[in-house]
């Protein structure tokens, strides 16, 4: 009994459009693709494949849509530089074994070889108690579906990167911790939690923080060219404390993902101690606010 939760992100703008999909190990890649495709606003009128990591065309293994796989059977395998599989014949469990996927590893999904709609999926969670026959379903999401798939994929530069009041309050890059705390004076902001504070000659500045509105929580990171939302937590039907607990869990999950990403980039292994070290400010803030029982 095993199912998987993948976070599928739109490659050009991964913080603005993503979907969490849960799928049983015995379901096929083609079934997985059909749910993703529909959930992000695309159709099924073009060729596609799923590959390893974020390699797209350079993937060593390509799980092709059935139509392309069947049409390519007559091709010369000697000329191929990658292994080709039929996405309709390979289950999600088989794919994870073939690619050696572990938590926070990635796969890629390319749809429409002309316009090249690119998505990548992070294996966020292995659900060992879920049925292996669990039908693929979207369990969490952010961002509106694509309006017109025949527009070139990309980011709408006219959209503000952050929700108000953040967009009008935050500077483009780091923000003084003192100014960050003052955001709690806004009546619609419940909690602000600095997560990565750096001492400078001008005092402490923050480059990662969490913020809780009445019905939504966000984890923000100072990337180039500025602040980006990396996690959004829905607070609908949750109490203030329940939303704070869920936001704290999202922070811990993001810290674990950062360690995995850094490890992949540097070739090093970062253990639980490294991840725990990133939780220090989170735990201190929860204790300061009287929520030490959430640690």
Rg (CA), the chain: 21
Task: Give the pTM.
Answer: 0.60
DSSP classification of residue 91: B
Predicted confidence at residue 81, as pLDDT, reads: 67
Pair of tokens at residue 206: 């923050």
Q: What is the pLDDT of residues 9-23, one digit of tens each?
A: 999 888 789 999 999
Predicted confidence at residue 79, as pLDDT, reads: 45
Predicted confidence at residue 156, as pLDDT, reads: 55
Across the beta sheet with 137-142, the strand order is 83-86, 61-64, 48-52, 106-111, 117-127, 3-10, 18-24, 137-142
The crossing angle, in degrees rounded to 10, of helices 29-39 and 92-99 is 100
For 9, residues 6+ apart whose C-beta sits below 8 A from its C-beta are 15, 17, 18, 119, 120, 121, 122
- The per-residue pLDDT string of the chain (295 residues; one tens digit each, 9 = 90 and over) reads 899 999 999 998 887 899 999 999 999 999 999 999 999 999 888 999 999 999 999 999 999 999 889 877 644 444 456 899 999 999 999 999 999 999 889 999 999 988 899 999 999 999 999 999 999 999 999 989 998 777 767 655 555 556 666 766 677 677 888 888 888 888 889 999 999 998 887 788 899 999 999 889 999 998 766 788 888 898 989 999 999 999 999 999 999 888 877 776 677 777 788 889 999 999 999 999 999 998 8
Decide: helix, strand or coil at residue 16: coil
Alpha-carbon gap, residue 164 to 71, rounded angstroms = 50
Predicted confidence at residue 75, as pLDDT, reads: 44
Give backbone dihedrals phi and psi of 67, rounded to 5 degrees, phi first.
-60, -50
């Amino acid at each position: 009994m095993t199912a998987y939760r993948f976070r599928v992100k739109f490659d050009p703008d991964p913080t603005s459009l993503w979907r969490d999909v849960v799928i049983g190990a015995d379901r096929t890649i083609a079934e997985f693709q059909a749910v993703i495709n529909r959930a992000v606003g695309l159709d099924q009128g073009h060729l596609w494949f799923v590959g390893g990591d974020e390699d797209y065309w350079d993937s060593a293994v390509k799980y092709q849509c059935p139509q392309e796989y069947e049409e390519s059977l007559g091709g010369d395998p000697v000329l191929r530089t990658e292994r080709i599989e039929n996405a309709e014949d390979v289950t999600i469990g088989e794919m994870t074994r073939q690619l050696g996927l572990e938590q926070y590893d990635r796969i890629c999904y390319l749809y429409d070889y002309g316009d090249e709609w690119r998505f990548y999926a992070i294996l966020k969670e292995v659900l060992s108690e879920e049925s292996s026959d669990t039908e693929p379903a979207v369990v969490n999401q952010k961002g509106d579906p694509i309006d017109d798939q025949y527009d070139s994929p990309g980011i709408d530069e006219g959209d503000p990167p952050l929700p108000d009041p953040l967009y009008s309050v935050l500077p483009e890059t780091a923000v003084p911790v003192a100014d960050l705390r003052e955001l709690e004076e806004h009546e619609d902001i419940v909690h602000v939690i600095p997560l990565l504070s750096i001492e400078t000659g001008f005092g402490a500045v923050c480059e990662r923080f969490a913020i809780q509105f009445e019905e939504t929580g966000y984890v923000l990171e100072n990337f180039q060219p500025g602040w980006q939302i990396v996690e959004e937590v829905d607070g609908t039907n949750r109490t203030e404390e329940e939303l704070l607990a869920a936001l704290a869990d999202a922070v811990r999950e993001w810290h674990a993902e950062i360690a995995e990403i850094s490890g992949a980039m540097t070739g090093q292994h970062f253990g639980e101690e490294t991840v725990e070290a990133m939780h220090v400010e989170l735990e201190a803030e929860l204790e300061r606010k009287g929520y030490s029982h959430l640690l």
